[in-house]
Structure 1
Amino acid sequence: MIFSLTAHRVLDLLFPERCVLCGGYLSFRSRRGPFPVCGDCAGSFVPEAGPRCAVCSMPLISEDRLCMRCRGRERRFADNHSLFLYSRPRVARALAAYKGEGATGLAIFFGDFLADHLRGMDPGLVLVPVPCRRESLTRRGFDQVLLLCRALRRRHGFRYRRLLVRSGGGREQKTLNRTDRETNLRGAIQPKKSIRGGVPKRVVLLDDVFTTGATADACAGVLTAMGVERVSVLTIAID
């Protein structure tokens, strides 16, 4: 035990690591888990409470059941649940570090929160990752949603299936408005050519951020055409 603590202290000195949120140095004692977030910052992440839109998960102020942007709109997915609000500075910072700065250990950090929510759902659920743009994969070097799925499988035993692929280039969704997002996605999401074991009837589509719902809707449309009967969506944050 003494040797183990001494070894950790030596490693802390030789290879200092900083929390991606507050910038403080991480040590064996201050970190909460196998990810670059200190205990204090990790403890500040609490899934959003209060009334939420039954479709997109946007917090409701005075609306009843549905937010204004979901009223009168047809969605091909049943519902979305987002754990956090992207407008929270630490949430946005953590996602930027994960997606843009290569802090891949945050897949475990976010995955643990996602697992807590998934445990309250159908125990036989199958996760389906939203496919990554080829350009984003090349630039980033990893598929951030697929990493989440792998963390959920390794640490918590959840199953996932790669049923979708993204064809063509297209522009990044985050640079577009709602109408342009829908246009940009036409034909971009396709079923994977080789699927073993059939198609599950109920799936949870996993993504990092829910914005207009255009990506989730496009994926749900393809999954429904493949034979999936119900598509729920789960995301880290809603913007």
Structure 2
Amino acid sequence: MTFFKLSTSLISIVYKRSLLDQCYVCDIRREGTLCSSCQKLLQRNHSHCQLCSRPTAVTVTLCGECQQTLPSFDRIIAPLRYEGLCRGLIRKAKFENQPHLLRPLVTFIIDHLIEHDIALPTAWCVVPTSQQSLSERGYCQTTLIADLLSKAPTLASMQRIVLKRRLEVSAQHTRSKAERHSLSHRLFYTEERVPEQVLLIDDVVTTGSTAEACAKALRLAGAKRVTVLALARTSE
């Protein structure tokens, strides 16, 4: 074994033991990213609209909003509710320069996909962040989520599609619900001819307006089905 390989192996062992063998929240030693106690603090999105994944009292085929207007996307997969620990981890990752806190949530999502044997499209893209957020944050959280997801064997071979913003608007979390619903598909575009089925990756789905605008843009580029995969869903 060369010195380089030995050094790399030792660094990997130290990294795993120091960062991956302890809970990201309470630092207790364990296998994986969250201990069993902290996992219980994640609010599962058990009851929801089967189309947009909006949390509901009981699972429904279509919520009131989806009954009024069917969205352009075919389904949202969001196994967690944007509450409690999940909300805290995402906010720290996005606004307190702690992107590593996305890892336990992505791990949960991968486990959910495997456990429920959810089939995904063969191509994916991320919701592009605004230039303002990118400048302030220094990274795109949806790209980080996609990079972590792509390490899973079931997602590693998927084709990447680059979705871009055509116009610059303020970050979504700074906009009112009405302003979010005014988003047009013209805000997003891709220069590629996309496959018929595409996976759109986001961090949090709030009103669903961004997912709707992205899905419209992807359909204009050739997509027949757009599945949205998000870490969490709000009840808005």
Q: Secondary structure at the match of 1:70?
A: helix
User: Residues 69-218 of structure 1 correspond to what in structure 2 (within 5 A)?
Assistant: 69-86=65-82, 88-119=83-114, 120-122=117-119, 125-158=122-155, 159-185=158-184, 187-191=186-190, 193=191, 195=192, 198-218=193-213
* Structure 1, unpaired ranges of 5+: none
CA deviation map 1:174-232 (0-9, x unaligned): 232333113344532121x3x4xx52211111101111110000000010010011001
User: Residues 124, 77 of structure 1: CA spacing in aligned structure 2 closer, same or farther, 3 A cutoff?
Assistant: closer
Does residue 40 (structure 1) correspond to residue 37 (structure 2)? The answer is yes
TM-score of the aligned structures, taking structure 1 as reference length:
0.77
TM-score of the aligned structures, taking structure 2 as reference length:
0.78
Over the aligned positions, Cα root-mean-square deviation in angstroms equals 2.9
Paired residue for 1:55? 51
Q: Which amino acid aligns with 1:139?
A: E
Conservation of the 8 A alpha-carbon contact between 2:127 and 2:214 = yes
Q: Secondary structure at the match of 1:156?
A: coil
Distance 1:30 1:84 in 2: 24
Does residue 234 (structure 1) correspond to residue 229 (structure 2)? The answer is yes
Q: Aligned residues, how many?
A: 215
Distance 2:78 2:120 in 1: 19
Q: Secondary structure at the match of 2:78?
A: strand
* Alpha-carbon offset, residue 46 of structure 1: 6.0
Structure 1 stretch displaced more, 122-131 or 40-49 = 40-49
Distance 2:162 2:119 in 1: 19
Paired residue for 2:4? none
* Alpha-carbon offset, residue 77 of structure 1: 0.5
Paired residue for 2:220? 225
Distance 1:41 1:64 in 2: 29
* Structure 2, unpaired ranges of 5+: 1-9
